[in-house]
Structure 1
Amino acid sequence: MKHFVFILALLLICACDDLKVKKTSTEAILNEELKSFKWNEVDEYPTFITCETSGTQQDRKLCFEQTLAAVILKRMQAERIIVNKDVLDTVLIKFKISDEGHLSLLNFKVDSLTQAEIPNIKFLITSSLDSLPSIEPAIKRGQKVNSEFTLPIIIKAN
């Protein structure tokens, strides 16, 4: 009986070590989360209200890009642009959409030949942004966030 009680006491002492809960510091959890966090991706892309009915996230992204390009193209086509040489160029426009849905132009890359043929191209594009419909900002983990993206616009004038 003594041996039985001794073995039982020994097992209980050993078993108590297995029951200890390992504590993880908040810093360790945060560091692990930051490693898995994809900073360059959002859960929901920015969108126009008219695009919210589109099916998948990719459809809404495509609708947003097409609507933005269509508004810029409409403004460019409304202007009477006269060129001396044929122009075929891709203009890269970098935008920022704030967490409140405000769109701003960050960068504008245009070839020097295109700039020479259409000197007011930047004004035409920036003025077209005034007629955009309301924008819903990008969403990351349920929060509205700032986002940046580059939109290529093909300029073709004969």
Structure 2
Amino acid sequence: MKHYYFFLLFAIFNSCQYFEKQVPSEKELLQKELKAINWKEVDEYPSFVDCDKLDEKVQRQQCFFDSLTQLIQEKLEIDTLSALYPELDTIEVKVTVFPNSKMQFEPQFPKDSVAYDTIKIDSILHARLVNFPKVNPALKQGIPVKTQFILPVIIKVE
């Protein structure tokens, strides 16, 4: 019985160290969690309603990019862009998807582009790239976030 008391007394003295540990503050925990998040990537990419039916993240992402590229190409096919600038076969478009599901399109031109009127092309793109289907914004930690990417759009010459 003496051994049990000795063991119990030993356990009590050694367990006191567990009660004296400091609990981190809210700010420390928040900073630790914020550092653990990869802010360069989103959890869910933007998507159209049709693409949400797909199960895998990579397939939904590819569906979104393919659908958006196709929609932009269809909207630009009916224009005189290819007739005005036959040497222009691809335009890089910077697409911004805002958390409120709005999209913005900005053409990206090489810094030395003097062969064509960038202001005119920009105005044509802004006039044509309207009335897109509803897009679901990208999600990070379950919160809608703004995303930007550059999409190469091939202008089909007919």
TM-score range, shorter chain: 0.7 to 0.9
Aligned residues: 154
Flag the structure with higher strand content. 1
Measure how far apart 1:157 and its partner are.
Answer: 4.4
Gaps of 5+ in 1: none
Residue 8 to residue 133, structure 1, CA distance change in 2 (3 Å)? closer
User: How do 1:30-109 residues align onto structure 2 when only pairs under 5 Å count?
Assistant: 30-80=30-80, 81-83=82-84, 86-105=86-105, 107-109=106-108
What is the identity percentage for the equivalent residue pairs of Structure 1 and Structure 2?
27
Decide whether the 8 Å contact of 2:77 with 2:156 is kept in 1: no
Partner of 2:16: 17
Gaps of 5+ in 2: none
- Larger mean Cα displacement after TM superposition, 132-141 or 14-23: 14-23
Decide whether the 8 Å contact of 1:138 with 1:144 is kept in 2: yes
Residue 103 to residue 14, structure 1, CA distance change in 2 (3 Å)? same
User: How do 1:145-156 residues align onto structure 2 when only pairs under 5 Å count?
Assistant: 145-155=145-155
Measure how far apart 1:66 and its partner are.
Answer: 1.5
- CA deviations 1:47-68 (Å, max 9, x no partner) are 1112212231111111111121
- CA deviations 1:57-105 (Å, max 9, x no partner) are 1111111111211122112211234247x51554222222111100113
User: In 2, distance between residues paired with 1:136 and 1:27?
Assistant: 32
CA RMSD of aligned residues (A): 3.0
User: In 1, distance between residues paired with 2:20 and 2:148?
Assistant: 44
TM-score by length of structure 1 reads 0.77
